[in-house]
Structure 1
């Protein structure tokens, strides 16, 4: 864990202590690759990139501990050198993304439905809270998680609870075999097929449907992958073409997201819909890309925000505004009980409201 006499850590502690005393808001930032996500950042910049480096890595134990300012690309390269990976495929969106930002954003890539989310791999964390106290939660093994699982609570908090100084993460070996299949079918057919296949013992790792084409990624033991290819059929895509597709989907620089970015520049919004995977097509105007077996659907649309949110709520899910005009709010409104919990957590960790004010919700 971070040493208390570390100059980079001491600089952060002093900045927070001063901000608390003067009620000065701070905007935590690393590489800035996810600055667009959430409500508009506010406060004086608090750059954490000086607190960088892999603190410990035990490949045989499948655990790595890294400081918040460590470039995500650097961490993944170190893991790849040992044949291991972050299986939830955290998106980078742009160069410079950091480990702290990865956890704070809580975003996962194409394999999330099969392997779990960022929070499922966080074993422990060191946090600098709004009182300028350095707190440690969890550990480096799963059995150390007891009581309130604060380290996982930090995933997706967007820095509103404190500065994530360091995290311990579970990692996994790279799968021995991977294959990608392509099918032609409409949205409704894709939803039915994905849910049918999801209930069978198949090595499904990721899926993506867009514009009449369903793409499926298989991962696991070679025998299991080959058996699934024979069972499912479809068109087998060469690895040289499949790998860039999945990387583009992960980092949002593939064709769909390129078109969405252009549309957002023209006044549309990019929505991230979280829905039960069996949800039939919502029939909303715009262009749709579906992932996670139907549970995550990206919608680029000029439709009113209320229409999109109401449709998602009727289906038992919610809609998050990912890119575009944020005047209607980024995240789905909280119920009264959840809002009380959010306020209590913010008061406990950051009573002076120093960190990333309003980044999750304008009034929190």
Structure 2
């Protein structure tokens, strides 16, 4: 795979010399995410040729793969050893790559119970804006002094460099799984989820929509059966439930379908925050800490809604209107740190300019 690294490095050096922006892209399944106003003169830097699992040690619960490796290939290799990616990344299409999954930083229904994408990134290799080949972290869990750059890449949307390789911690696949459903209003669902998360139940996902609260339990056969007996509710067929949670992960359920004039807002709040009385609440996940709104309201209104609950709002699907931004504007001190990081790794400003914030 040295030839693909050489090709990408040459493309970076040429782009930096000629001041040509680069759009870093794998399968393109997350193209919708982030700011839409991207340079018209950008060249595509395709990572898919740089593919393949470099190392996988089931006993050590670590997998290392090149960034262009299909996410489905990673998951299939893990499944053979009854292991999984704990953060349950959405694919949003058949071409999803592991590099794109990490760069987007998006986690699925298990996020509140297992951790975020960054929590499982052990190491990464990166081509920076000067053509340097950098290596951060490793393949073991350890303390890090200063910036943990490997984890910093999770959610950076390719704005710091071209990720070429990533090492991830994985976890064993549960022996048993059950999904229980309960009739519940949104206001009732939040305290119920808070109470359940404070008890020793093997809860790995919660999803509320259309008056129904769905809970997923995963663990040992005895642990799951005991929890089912204590919690009650209506139990979903196991085969049906696996596909049901896949649809939740992929936002392929009706709750995420947008009508004319609607946009999908991703609002992150403390999971104890009461549910605001507002139109458009479509679904809740992560113990009530992630709330999805389908709304035609302006960004200012949605961000006020989030701020009043102690959180922030992201325009997940749909175009930002004039004067709006996809991501909540950062405080000046935090923005200054981001600018310095961008300048250090990408001094020419060629990597995915405008993808996260209009000025970088």
Q: Normalising TM by the smaller chain, what interval? A: over 0.9
Q: 1:270 aligns with which of 251, 264, 272?
A: 264
On the 8 A contact 1:138/1:144 being kept in 2, the answer is no
The yes-or-no answer on 1:313 pairing with 2:307 is yes
| Equivalent pair of 1:123/1:145 in contact (CA under 8 Å) | no
**What's the secondary structure of 2:292's corresponding residue?**
strand
1:272-301 deviations in Å (ceiling 9; x for gaps):
000000111112221420000000011111
Residue 182 of structure 1 aligns to a residue whose secondary structure is strand
Q: CA deviation at 1:255?
A: 2.1
Q: 2:281, 2:291 within 8 Å by CA — same for their partners in 1?
A: no
Check if 1:337 corresponds to 2:336.
Answer: no
Task: Tell me the SS of whatever aligns to 2:87.
Answer: coil
Distance across 1 between alignment mates of 2:275 and 2:161: 39
1:13 counterpart (2, 9, 21): 9
Q: After TM superposition, where is structure 1 displaced by more than 4 Å over at least 4 residues in a row?
A: none
1:348 alignment partner in structure 2: 344
Equivalent residues of 1:20, 1:354 under 8 A apart: yes
> Which whole-Å CA distance do the structure 2 matches of 1:123 and 1:145 have between them?
11
In the TM superposition, what are the counterparts of 1:291-306 in structure 2 within 5 Å? 291-306=285-300
> How far did residue 146 of structure 1 move?
4.1
Return the alpha-carbon distance in structure 1 between the equivalents of residues 3 and 143 of structure 2.
29
- Cα deviation 1:302-322 (Å, max 9, x = unaligned): 122211101101111000000
* Distance across 1 between alignment mates of 2:43 and 2:168: 29
Do the aligned residues in 2 keep the contact of 1:139 with 1:145 (CA within 8 Å)? no
Output one character per residue of 1:41-71: Cα deviation in whole Å (capped at 9) or x when no partner.
4321111111000011111111110001000
Secondary structure in 2 matching 1:217: strand
1:362 matches 2:348: no
Q: Distance in 2 between matches of 1:239 and 1:233?
A: 16
Once the two structures are superposed, what CA deviation does each residue of 1:177-196 show, in whole Å capped at 9, x if it has no partner? 11100000101110110011
Rounded to whole Å, the distance in 1 between the matches of 2:66 and 2:145 is 23
- Paired with 1:138 and 1:216, the residues of 2 have a C-alpha distance of 35
Report what 2:85 is aligned to.
Answer: 86
Match of 1:107 in 2: 106
Gaps of 5+ in 2: none
> Which position in structure 2 is the counterpart of 1:130?
129
Aligned equivalents of 1:72, 1:79: Cα separation in 2: 11
CA distance in 1, matches of 2:79, 2:157: 27
Q: Which secondary structure does the structure 1 equivalent of 2:157 belong to?
A: coil
| Cα shift at 1:147 | 3.3
TM-score, scaled relative to structure 1 = 0.96
TM-score, scaled to structure 2: 0.97
- Are residues 1:152 and 2:143 paired? no
Q: Which segments of 5 or more consecutive residues in structure 1 lack a partner in the other structure? A: none
Select 1:30's aligned residue among 26, 29, 32.
26
* Number of residue pairs the alignment of both structures matches: 355
Residue 175 in 1 paired to residue 169 in 2? no
Point out the more displaced range, 33-42 or 337-346.
Answer: 33-42
Q: Secondary structure at the match of 2:341?
A: helix
